[in-house]
Chains A and B, each alone.
Chain A
Amino acid sequence: MPGVFRVVSVVFLLASACAVVRPHERENLTRPGMTSDRGPGEARFRQHQTGAREGSDGGTGEPGGGCGCN
């Protein structure tokens, strides 16, 4: 666990060093491809399909359990 805290601390430190982008400078960051290039239905199907065909799962931050694909 101390290793995890060290990693999180380093990430926060690096993040705080990033330049702050003001709201009026974020036009390009709000483009669809910059937030999510996949619709909710596409993402849900993809998660279900890979869960049924691959031994790994997760990494999306979204719940995936209980897909009926043991």
Chain B
Amino acid sequence: MRVQLIRAIAIVAVLAGIARADGEVSVRGVYYKEHATRVEQPMIDARFDAGDGGSVDAHFLVDAITSASPGSGAANMPFTEKRYELGGGFTQQLEDHPIRWGVLARASVEPDYESGFFGGRFEHDFADKNFTFALAGGIGYDHITNAGAQFAGPGFTAISEHLSNTLLSGSITQVLGKNTVGSLTYDFAYFWGYLANPYRTVITADAGLVPERMPDYRARHAFAGIVRHFLPSTATTLIAAYRLYTDDWGMLSHTPEVRVVQAAGDDLEVGLGFRYYHQSGASFFKPVYPTVQPQFEPYLTDDPKLSPFDGETITARFAVLGRAFGFEGNWGDARAEVIVEYVVQHNRFGNAGIGHVALTVPFSD
């Protein structure tokens, strides 16, 4: 990942030098480690102004996963798989109207999973921009195979399946005072098609190991609220958020979260965050199924993320502007950021550590 990051930083330097519009370029490297899985994800994001009130954004990332987890296709040896994702969007602020609209598209490719998504967004400001109403929606289409299986000998059956999804989202944001703003969001997502993992097997008492068997639809609802408050006397931002999630698989989850962002002078910023997560588990999840017979057990899964569990995440971040090191102009406004995160997962995945390193460089013509 180090070489890819150096390449990305070089690209940022070149883009920041030749850009002829206002915007910013950001490179980020993420490292994720838990006991059976390691992820390295370098990425690049760009955003620049395009015409009166227009803005274009784009991103590209590589997801390099090394895993010994059977749910990832590993039979008994760790393997590495790469996923490539490309996405972009356009947002337009209407002239003389407090309205913004936008479109976005995204595609990702890996050996056993291809995915595409297209969506749109509409926002309307009211009361002199004290209240904003937003609607978003989109559709996605995925193609799933088991081409990543390590075992492809006698008895192996190739799988080629499809999964569709649609998302509808509504949100309101209200300025609650000179130092306080809050927002509420409702997301509805509906998935239909192949929702199983082609590599995952399940233990049954009467038939031993059998393939996972999942419903072919899922309706998901998420309600979220967030309040941000700034304390001028100490330059501290306090953030409190909560999400309630439910779906027709019997899953219910609660996610409260608090974050603190502390400015230290004009060029430094530190942050701390704590997130608690609790989920009930899917109604059909069992560690061991008594039978494979569908009339008694319509669905079979051994997916840890469908089991009941809870967890905690602690986040620390540090950000500094280029001005702190004597840079001027665009490089003076450049922002370097380091994030360290520890995730406690009370399930089979085990605990995880995450690290981010990012550099964001604004540019103007």
Interface residues of A (CB under 8 A from B): 11, 15-16, 18-23, 25-26, 28-29, 31-34, 37, 39-42, 44-45, 48-49, 52-68, 70
Mark each residue of chain B from 210 to 246: 1 if its CB lies under 8 Å from any CB of chain A, else 0.
0000000000111110001010100001010001010
Interface residue total, chain B, C-beta cutoff 8 A: 93
Q: Is A54 a contact of B277 with CB atoms below 8 Å?
A: yes
B174 in complex: contacting residue of A18, A25, A34, CB < 8 Å: A18
Q: List residues of chain B with CB within 8 A of the CB of A42.
A: 28, 339, 356, 358
Which of B185, B187, B224, B279 counts the most A-chain CB atoms under 10 A from its CB? B187
Q: List residues of chain B with CB within 8 A of the CB of A52.
A: 305
Q: Is B108 a contact of A37 with CB atoms below 8 Å?
A: no
Q: Is A60 a contact of B185 with CB atoms below 8 Å?
A: yes
Tell me the minimal C-beta distance from B108 to chain A in angstroms. Answer: 6
Interface of A (DSSP majority class): loop
Tell me the minimal C-beta distance from B61 to chain A in angstroms. Answer: 8
Q: Is B59 a contact of A44 with CB atoms below 8 Å?
A: yes
B144 in complex: contacting residue of A31, A34, A57, A70, CB < 8 Å: A70
Interface residues of B (CB under 8 A from A): 26, 28, 30, 32, 39, 41, 43, 45, 47, 57, 59, 61, 63, 83, 104, 106, 108, 110, 113, 115-117, 119, 127-131, 134, 136, 138, 140-142, 144, 163, 165, 167, 169, 171-172, 174-179, 181, 184-185, 187, 189, 191, 195-197, 220-224, 228, 230, 232, 237, 239, 243, 245, 247, 249, 251, 253, 255, 259, 261, 269, 271, 277, 279, 281-282, 305-306, 337, 339, 343, 345, 349, 352, 354, 356, 358, 360
A26 vs B40: C-alpha distance in the bound complex, in angstroms?
39
Q: List residues of chain A with CB within 8 A of the CB of B32.
A: 49
Q: Is A64 a contact of B189 with CB atoms below 8 Å?
A: yes
A68 vs B143: C-alpha distance in the bound complex, in angstroms?
9
A37 vs B271: C-alpha distance in the bound complex, in angstroms?
9
A-B contact pairs, 19 of them (CB 8 A): A15-B131, A15-B174, A18-B176, A21-B177, A23-B129, A32-B261, A33-B230, A34-B237, A39-B358, A41-B28, A45-B28, A49-B39, A52-B305, A55-B251, A55-B282, A65-B142, A65-B165, A66-B163, A70-B196
Q: List residues of chain B with CB within 8 A of the CB of A15.
A: 131, 172, 174
Q: List residues of chain B with CB within 8 A of the CB of A39.
A: 26, 28, 45, 337, 358, 360
Q: Is B243 a contact of A19 with CB atoms below 8 Å?
A: no
Q: Is B230 a contact of A31 with CB atoms below 8 Å?
A: yes
